[in-house]
Structure 1
Amino acid sequence: MTQNLSERTIFITGSGGVLGSTYVRRMLEAGAKVVATDLEGARADQLVEAHGDNPDFGFYHMDVGDEEQVTSIFQRVMADGWKPNVVLNNAAITGEMLMGAGKPFPDFADTSVHDFERTMRTNLTGAFMVARQMDRDIVGKWPSALVNVASMYALNGAHHPIYEGMPFKNFSAYGVSKAGIHGLTVWLAGYWAKRDATVNTISPGAVFNGHSEEFQKRVGGLIMQDRMAQPDEIADVMLFLCSPQAGHMTGQMVNVDGGFSAW
């Protein structure tokens, strides 16, 4: 069923990545107003180039790990006349992003506290700060929904052998932060239950983003459907969670992983 989001204004963090940009495109196509945020850089520029002429699209540079920015951007969004009733905690830093292209990926024993804490700051503390600002500015003022984005590795251990010989590895802080995301969901779901606000988690599986054939084969072997997801397949479920049809769902984790978590 095609979702109609014409009554939704959706605030999304980390909107420039492969999934974030897909969410933005699909939400606009479904009739939503979209307030997108991301760090300064090429990804943000491409997003603005693609949608900047759409009056239903607004963009703000924001680092979710910066407390002052989170507060000020919410205030600017409200002052500019946007009225978000759905918030997506989508921003995250992966091990590949943390290390940077071409840099060696550390083994667990060599993982620095700085890198671990930087990941947690973006992926989990940042999600907390966005949700806290939503509590201050949105929850209780009008019906609202929060969708937190976790991962197939939130509640499932990483399969380390599939990363052998690859230029990247599964980073410990990523899985830890994504498990914490669902902890934030269930805590907030109860806390906001009487304030007309729902909170749910979506846990995407492995999403194709230019991966090698060998890596696709290794990951596919762990998935019932024997393949990685296309970004639009994750967006299909995200649009439902953002829609009025998900109004009686709260405190739930929805796995969109081709059966990975069901083995």
Structure 2
Amino acid sequence: MINKIARSVTEALAGVQDGATVLIGGFGTAGIPNELIDGLIAQGAKDLTVVNNNAGNGDTGLAALLNTGRVRKIICSFPRQADSHVFDALYRSGKLELELVPQGNLAERIRAAGAGIGAFFSPTGYGTEMAKNSDGSAKETREINGKGYVLEMPIYGDVALIKAERGDRWGNLMYRKAARNFGPVMATASRLTVATVHEIAELGSMDPEHIITPGIYVHQIVKIDRVATQAGGFQKAV
């Protein structure tokens, strides 16, 4: 019987190895799998390459992972914001390598890995510093129909950590609105995908038309509680 429901975050992340490339869903704080990030911190894997849209907020979640000193490199499109002091300090001191990728290219590079595409040409970044590799060498360029393009390579993950809303024991996932963000493409691009869910659905109860990530791309799911917080006088779930 297929049953991808893990008993705990610890169990779900037991196989993460040192040197892994970890794709972490989330757009700012929306859809960030904080419980899985905390679990990865506790698990202890080091020399990691982390892929996320951002580079952490405040001192929790992704910022807390960076602060452990166990992340060697981060690949993202928006590393700096008002509360990115952890990233700022590490990057300025030379303790963290950064690969800056335009947001559309970031999503497409991940999607390309999941779709089996060897590489693709993108007009984004042509003629700018974005047309260089992280080591400073020039990326391959080509003119197509009179327009300049840059060759971009897929981003494969050893592990994907994503947050979903509902899942079943086969690993089928549904998301909550914009919290979906990078989750679906990251799930397809990784050798191991772990997702948190707030609800475990009975097998067959989810409308197939509403399943965004099929279970074939998901290896472990962990049920987490929905935490209520007070913000501005309104009760909201996070």
Q: TM-score, normalised by structure 2?
A: 0.38
**Greater helix share, 1 or 2?**
1
The structure, 1 or 2, with the larger RCO (C-alpha pairs under 8 Å, 6+ apart) is 2
**Greater strand share, 1 or 2?**
2
